[in-house]
Amino acid sequence: MHIDPEDDTHLTPARDLPSRSAVQAQLKSRFKDIDAATQIERITLHYVGGRLRIELLLPLSVLANPDTGRQLAARSRRPSPKIH
């Protein structure tokens, strides 16, 4: 079951946001030198309020090295060029 938090029948607030394939390509490029990124099990994109929130599911074993989580978080927060 999916509950849509926005009524997008008349407005398209996600219109100028990147597509799933563009986001995946950007993540792959950003995380290319972080080994743990190869273990991403699922990517969920949330298009809400004209913004994009990215949720990554990784196995807990990835966090055996605490620096890994920090690297992924820091890399994902860096500003990036607008992609479509």
pLDDT, tens digit (0-9, with 9 covering 90-100), for 4-31? 565 555 555 567 788 889 999 988 888 8
Whether this prediction's pTM lies above 0.75 is answered by no
Check if the beta carbon of residue 54 is closer than 8 Å to that of residue 23.
yes
Between CA 25 and CA 47 the distance in angstroms is 17
Residue 68 in any domain: the answer is yes
Give the structural domain span for 63.
35-77
Q: Which residues touch 45 (CB under 8 Å, ≥6 apart)?
A: 20, 23, 52, 53, 54, 55
Residue 45 in any domain: the answer is yes
How many domains are contained in the chain? 1
Q: What is the pLDDT of residues 35-61, one digit of tens each?
A: 888 898 999 988 888 888 888 888 988
Among residues 41, 23, 32, 44, which one has the least CA distance to residue 75?
32
Residue 47 in any domain: the answer is yes
